[in-house]
Amino acid sequence: MYGKQSLSYTVTEKGTVSIPSSIRKKYDLQKGAKVEFVDTGEGILIVPIIPIEDLFGVDKSRKKLVYEMVREIHEERRRETSED
């Protein structure tokens, strides 16, 4: 188990599932927030996607590192998309 909290919800006919309010509050998931589904091979992770604009000023001393990490993530996603 990845976390302390285990919740069970039903997937609807349209393939949607509600995210519990405690989880939405904890991860600041508000209406319109985007998440990514990551298949780990052992299960599915739901990862909040943080808009890059929200990262500005977070840690100015590591700005170059953050830009490099974001660039690498985008390149990896492009490679994965082109392989499919």
The pLDDT of residue 2 is above 60: no
pLDDT digit string (tens) for 19-47?
999 989 988 889 998 898 888 888 888 88
Give the count of beta carbons closer than 10 Å to the beta carbon of residue 70. 13
Q: What is the mean pLDDT of residues 49-58?
A: 72
What's the average model confidence in pLDDT over 11-15?
94
Among 7-11, 23-27, 35-39, 80-84, the least confident range: 80-84
Q: In Å, how far are 10, 11, 27, 46, 49 from 18, measured between CA atoms? A: 8, 8, 14, 12, 17
Q: Tell which residue, 9, 12, 28, has the closest CA to residue 20.
A: 9
- pTM for the model: 0.53
pLDDT on residue 12: 94
